[in-house]
């Protein structure tokens, strides 16, 4: 089990620690609902240092990224971030990721913790032009400071004008007196905020400085359980649940990051799938009757015929109702369609709803 540079800090704060993607991570501190609420209304800090970071550098770095990712990275400019996918050769997804353009010849890819080795090997397989690849995951710490008060809470720590930063852009600068820190207007909560990348050696110092600066704004540490309820209220996909090696980006509603103006892994087959139409779709749904949908529960029609399965589900703290994501046959994917979730052999009524659930 790997630790992040802040594992001891979380333990000292009384966090409940659990194994997650091979790391010892804080799942909650005081409780999911309270932590969720803190991020939706104020500001909270997640240690997400388990995420992976690769640096790709050289004349052909963009070519390699264009070859392995589904989105069009040629549209990036210095300081711009892009959400994308690594399609596999069988119509599924190796991983979803963020692509950061540092300069014309230098990019940072941010990948899911559970897929670091898999993604590295996948990209390396296509690196036939000698692009310089560095895996900096083990020496990089990452804090996600999320919520409507995030900019105010952090502004005293940096001369970067946080409030004016556009969504999915980043700046490199001095943060809490430490140079060469990446501050990115990204996150996985739908509550606004920033993700801050820096070397492990500064982790404890930066953590403490963030909490000092954020104290007047009610800043709190937040665990991964609330990160999951927050992302699910927005309908954001979680790799391993809602997307995986067997799900097509088109089925998953990720057509918007699948650009056919370039040649990428399996692009011809995906283009054929787009033309023919998918047979199943990832949908959002809200429970009408009482019951909490869970990963892998079956979705059935009124007659009890299996039409799909749940990929993510929870009781939404903001909405006070149960919500979920799942794949269903095309004919059941229309908004407002009544479906049923099989919970302990009982058909529990739900309806298809378009994410984000939390507006």
Q: Cis bond leading into 356, ω under 30°?
A: yes
Torsional class of 147: left (φ above 0), alpha (ψ -120 to 50), beta (otherwise): left
Give the pair of three-digit tokens for residue 267: 């692009």
Contact, 87 vs 266, CB < 8 A?
yes
Query: Which of 201, 233, 265 corresponds to the end of one domain?
Result: 233
Q: How far apart are CA 189 and CA 57, in angstroms?
A: 30
* Burial label, 297 (beta-carbon count in 10 A; 0-12, 13-18, 19+): buried
Could you say which of 203, 233, 263 is where a domain stops?
233
pLDDT for 302: 97
Residue 47 has a pLDDT of: 98
Could you tell me if residue 55 is inside a domain?
Answer: no
Residue 261: partners with Cβ closer than 8 Å, 6 or more residues away: 72
User: What is the Cα–Cα distance from 257 to 53, expressed in whole angstroms?
Assistant: 20
Q: Tell me the C-alpha distance between 327 and 309, whole Å.
A: 6
Q: Please tell me whether 195 is known to bind a ligand.
A: yes
Q: How many CB atoms lie within 10 A of CB 295?
A: 17
Q: Which of 233, 256, 290 is the last residue of a domain?
A: 233
Nearest to 308 by CA among 270, 274, 352: 352
Assess if residue 93 is contained within a domain.
no
CA distance 170 to 166: 8
Which two tokens mark 136?
């900096």
CA pair distance 340, 305, nearest whole angstrom:
10
34 lies in some domain: yes
Mutual angle of helices 224-234 and 32-41, in 10-degree steps:
60
Return the DSSP state at 251: T
* pLDDT per residue rounded down to tens, the chain (359 residues): 999 999 999 999 999 999 999 999 999 999 999 999 999 999 999 999 999 999 999 999 999 999 999 999 999 999 999 999 999 999 999 999 999 999 999 999 999 999 999 999 999 999 999 999 999 999 999 999 999 999 999 999 999 999 999 999 999 999 999 999 999 999 999 999 999 999 999 999 999 999 999 999 999 999 999 999 999 999 999 999 999 999 999 999 999 999 999 999 999 999 999 999 999 999 999 999 999 999 999 999 999 999 999 999 999 999 999 999 999 999 999 999 999 999 999 999 999 999 999 99
H/E run at residue 225:
helix 224-234
- The pTM of the whole model exceeds 0.75: yes
For the beta carbon of residue 262, count every other beta carbon within 10 angstroms: 14
Six-digit token string for 212: 């000092």
Structure tokens of 1? 């089990």
Q: Which structural domain range is residue 317 located in? A: 279-358
Give the count of beta carbons closer than 10 Å to the beta carbon of residue 296. 11
Cβ proximity of 102 and 172 under 8 Å: yes
Q: Tell me how many domains the chain contains.
A: 2
Tally Cβ neighbours within 10 Å of residue 167: 9
All residues at 6 or more sequence positions from 16 whose CB lies less than 8 Å from its CB, including other chains: 26, 27, 28, 29, 223
Is 145 in the same domain as 221? yes
Outline where 241-354 has alpha helix (H): 267-276
Based on the domain organization, do 197 and 296 belong to the same domain?
Answer: no
- The CATH code of the domain that includes 352 is 2.40.30.110
Residue 202 maps to which CATH number? Answer: 3.30.1360.120
Task: Give residue 334's pLDDT.
Answer: 98
pLDDT at site 324: 98
Q: Examine the domain organization and report whether 164 and 222 are in the same domain.
A: yes
- Report the distance separating Cα 81 and Cα 197, nearest Å: 14
Structure tokens at 341: 């979730």
287 and 170, same domain (yes or no): no
Q: Would you say residue 26 lies in a domain?
A: yes
Q: What pLDDT, on the 0 to 100 scale, is given for residue 204?
A: 98
What pLDDT is attached to residue 174? 98
């Amino acid at each position: 089990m790997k630790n992040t540079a802040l594992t001891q800090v979380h333990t000292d704060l009384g966090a409940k620690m659990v194994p997650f993607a091979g790391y010892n991570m804080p799942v909650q501190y005081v409780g999911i609902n309270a932590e969720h609420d803190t991020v939706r209304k104020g500001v909270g800090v997640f240690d997400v240092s388990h995420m992976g970071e690769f640096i790709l550098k050289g004349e052909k770095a963009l070519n390699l990224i264009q070859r392995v990712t589904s989105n069009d990275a040629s549209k990036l400019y210095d300081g711009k971030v892009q959400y994308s996918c690594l399609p596999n050769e069988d119509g599924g997804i190796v991983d979803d990721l963020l692509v950061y353009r540092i300069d014309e010849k230098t990019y940072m890819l941010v990948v899911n913790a559970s897929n670091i080795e898999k993604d590295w090997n996948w990209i390396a397989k296509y690196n036939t032009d000698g692009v310089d690849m560095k895996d900096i995951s083990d020496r990089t710490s990452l804090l996600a400071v999320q919520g409507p008060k995030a900019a105010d809470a952090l502004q005293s720590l940096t001369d970067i004008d946080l409030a004016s930063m556009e969504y999915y852009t980043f700046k490199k600068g001095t943060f809490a007196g430490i140079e060469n820190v990446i501050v990115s207007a990204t996150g996985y909560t739908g509550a606004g905020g920033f993700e801050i990348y820096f070397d492990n050696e500064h982790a404890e110092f930066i953590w403490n400085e963030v909490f000092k600066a954020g104290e007047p704004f009610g800043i709190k540490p937040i665990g991964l359980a609330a990160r999951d309820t927050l992302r699910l209220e927005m309908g954001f996909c979680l790799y391993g649940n809602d997307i995986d090696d067997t799900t097509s980006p088109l089925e998953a509603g990720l057509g918007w990051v699948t650009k056919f103006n370039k040649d990428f892994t399996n692009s011809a087959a995906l283009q054929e799938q787009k033309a023919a139409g998918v047979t199943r779709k990832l949908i959002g749904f809200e429970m009408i009757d009482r019951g909490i949908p869970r990963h892998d529960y079956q979705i059935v029609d009124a007659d009890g015929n299996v039409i799909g399965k749940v990929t993510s589900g929870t009781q939404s703290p903001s909405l006070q109702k149960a919500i979920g994501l799942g794949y269903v046959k095309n004919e059941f994917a229309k908004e407002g369609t009544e479906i049923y979730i099989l919970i302990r052999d009982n058909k529990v009524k739900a309806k298809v709803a378009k994410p984000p659930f939390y507006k």
